[in-house]
Structure 1
Amino acid sequence: MADKCHLCLLGLIILSSLLTGTSGVDDAQVFISSGENVHLPCNNALHDCKSTYWIYNRFRHSAAVELIAGGIKKKDIERHERLSLGSDCSLNIKNITKEDYGFYSCRQYVNDKQQGTDAPVYLHVLHVSSSSSQTEISAGSSVTLSCQLYSYSYAGVSCDDWIRSEGIQLFWLNQAGVKLIVSGTRYQKSARGHCISTLTTTLLNEDDNREWRCEVTHRNQVKTSVTYTVKSSVFCRGSQMLFCQ
């Protein structure tokens, strides 16, 4: 019964914190790249973690999922093996995927009574994908990289609206860390809204193992980035054919 009550209250607590702009504890915005490990802080932890519950929502209208109950992770959830509870009651998630983005909430219960308010954490995941299904493609062919920031949408606010209001931007950089400039046919950049940015380029002979990086900034501060390396299967230098090893 207590578990059901915990989940029933989640929607009201989320709505209340969003409407008032306060929750008793500062909201945490965490940016992470897919494939990395993340540490979500529990800013309302008590002296031990036996009172700690972690709740998760991916979408505004999705059902709440209980990940941690009484300091013990639930075994009937899909990502059970990738979750762990830190000594400070933080939630640790290994090998982040784009499906892990969303709203996380740490709360404390003692004798089935909530202590204080929730400590919310918004997890944003940056992910890059390629138009090519192969890891190795031929020089002279075109490749399109898509960089997307997966973020929790709440109170009817779209990802684009949220990004604009928060001063969040996506940039493409070369392996020297310089922002790419569209020039001629070398690079073409486009954006389907502010949450997705694509980069299209035609591979040159010298592009073997060249890296391109998508970077996300929040109010002009770099939060995280994803590096993508394209390996070409065949290169031509003059009349000689060189094959990748």
Structure 2
Amino acid sequence: MSDECRVCLLGLIFLSSLLTGISGVNETHVFISSGENVRLPCNNALHDCNSTTWNYNRFRESAAVELIRLGIKKKDTERHESMSMGSDCSLNIRNISTEDYGYYTCRQYVNHTQVNDTHVYLHVLHVSSSQTEISAGLSVTLFCQLYSYPRVSCDDLIRSERIQLFWVNQAGVKLTRSDSRYQISSSSDRCIITLNTTLLNEDDNREWRCEVTQRDQVKTSVTYTVKSSARRETPVIAVISVSVAVLAVLLAAVLWLIWRKRADNKRGTDGEAVSSVKDENDDKRTYETINMDTPAAARDHEQTDDVTYTEVSSSSKKPVKSLKDHNDTVTYATIR
């Protein structure tokens, strides 16, 4: 770019700065609810963003924090990961929190010379509850607060910008102090409005909404939905009941199997034969002793000193049946 063009550009920027300063166009108010994404406009952006710098102040007494310098995002700032710059040099912030409210400045530089500023006031609306356990019969207080950069005071800001906070029901009807069920009150600086009521059974899943308006135009709102704690605990109780029932069935089944096993063992003991019966795969051996004595009648006809009495022992891995089960005839032999 030639020097003549640069001089012309600087002249136009200064003229624009004077005009916007007179008309107030260089000052913007942005309202957003906590948890949402926001875009802060840079109304004085040049043909590219390499000359754009974004600064941030939360309090009047605090020093400015540089978020973006000449189109490059600073990585040593808090929550830098949630911030980015758009193609139109706007500042984009994801998942807004109450820590992000404040005073933002979009500043332009030409040849390292500051030429113009755009001021953006970011207001964050947030709703909180006094109760963690919600159920019918309990009194609950809802707090709706507008977090704003205090130029002088929140009250002055509300008066100068004609900002209002109020509660509406789910039908969109504004709640007033004349309604006997609701107690509506505001803080001294009018940046906090509270709603107090005693919950009824039919209030489960009911919605109350806090809205903020600027010059009678709704800018943003936050909805609070009543969720009864008793309703949330019901599925847990059901799961516990089912688990206890399942455990009871399993315990009964185990006890029945133990009883059945003992009964089978008792019947096996009562019908057991004289000889011990072991499994074929059992390593222990079963021994059966058979005494074969010569009958008395045979011994009368034979010489006593020529008779030999023999004891026969047999062993087997297979179960041995009782002698009562055998139909074989035993033959006695006399050895002389």
Instruction: Please report how far the alpha carbon of residue 234 of structure 1 lies from its aligned counterpart in structure 2 after TM superposition.
Output: 2.5
The residue that corresponds to 2:198 in the other structure is 202
TM-score by length of 1: 0.82
Once residues 89 and 153 of structure 1 are traced to their aligned partners in structure 2, the CA distance between those partners, rounded to angstroms, is 26
The residue that corresponds to 2:62 in the other structure is 62
Matches within 5 A, 1:110-121: 110-114=110-114, 116-121=115-120
The residue that corresponds to 1:122 in the other structure is 121
Residue by residue, what CA displacement relative to the aligned partner does 1:76-127 show, whole Å, maximum 9, x if unpaired?
111111101001000000111111111100011233212x310111111111
CA distance 1:140–1:29, change in 2 (3 Å)? same
Once residues 207 and 120 of structure 2 are traced to their aligned partners in structure 1, the CA distance between those partners, rounded to angstroms, is 32
Once residues 122 and 24 of structure 2 are traced to their aligned partners in structure 1, the CA distance between those partners, rounded to angstroms, is 19
Instruction: Please report how far the alpha carbon of residue 182 of structure 1 lies from its aligned counterpart in structure 2 after TM superposition.
Output: 3.7
Which structure features the higher share of strand residues? 1
Once residues 159 and 198 of structure 2 are traced to their aligned partners in structure 1, the CA distance between those partners, rounded to angstroms, is 31
More RCO (CA 8 Å, sep 6+) = 1
Structure 2's unaligned 5+ residue stretches are 1-16, 237-336
Which of 186, 199, 203 aligns to 1:191? It is: 186
Answer yes or no: is the 8 Å Cα contact 2:26–2:117 preserved in 1. no
The residue that corresponds to 1:149 in the other structure is 146
TM-score by length of 2: 0.61
CA distance 1:24–1:131, change in 2 (3 Å)? closer
Secondary structure at the residue paired with 1:54? strand
Secondary structure at the residue paired with 1:223? strand
Which structure features the higher share of helix residues? 2
Secondary structure at the residue paired with 1:172? strand
Aligned residue pair count = 216
State, as a whole percentage, how many aligned pairs show the same letter.
Answer: 75
Once residues 185 and 177 of structure 1 are traced to their aligned partners in structure 2, the CA distance between those partners, rounded to angstroms, is 18
CA distance 1:24–1:158, change in 2 (3 Å)? closer
Instruction: Please report how far the alpha carbon of residue 26 of structure 1 lies from its aligned counterpart in structure 2 after TM superposition.
Output: 2.5
Matches within 5 A, 1:76-225: 76-114=76-114, 116-132=115-131, 134=132, 136-154=133-151, 157-182=152-177, 186-193=181-188, 194-225=190-221
CA distance 1:179–1:160, change in 2 (3 Å)? same
Secondary structure at the residue paired with 2:227? strand
Secondary structure at the residue paired with 2:48? coil
Secondary structure at the residue paired with 1:118? strand
The residue that corresponds to 1:10 in the other structure is none
Answer yes or no: is the 8 Å Cα contact 1:23–1:117 preserved in 2. no
Instruction: Please report how far the alpha carbon of residue 161 of structure 1 lies from its aligned counterpart in structure 2 after TM superposition.
Output: 1.8
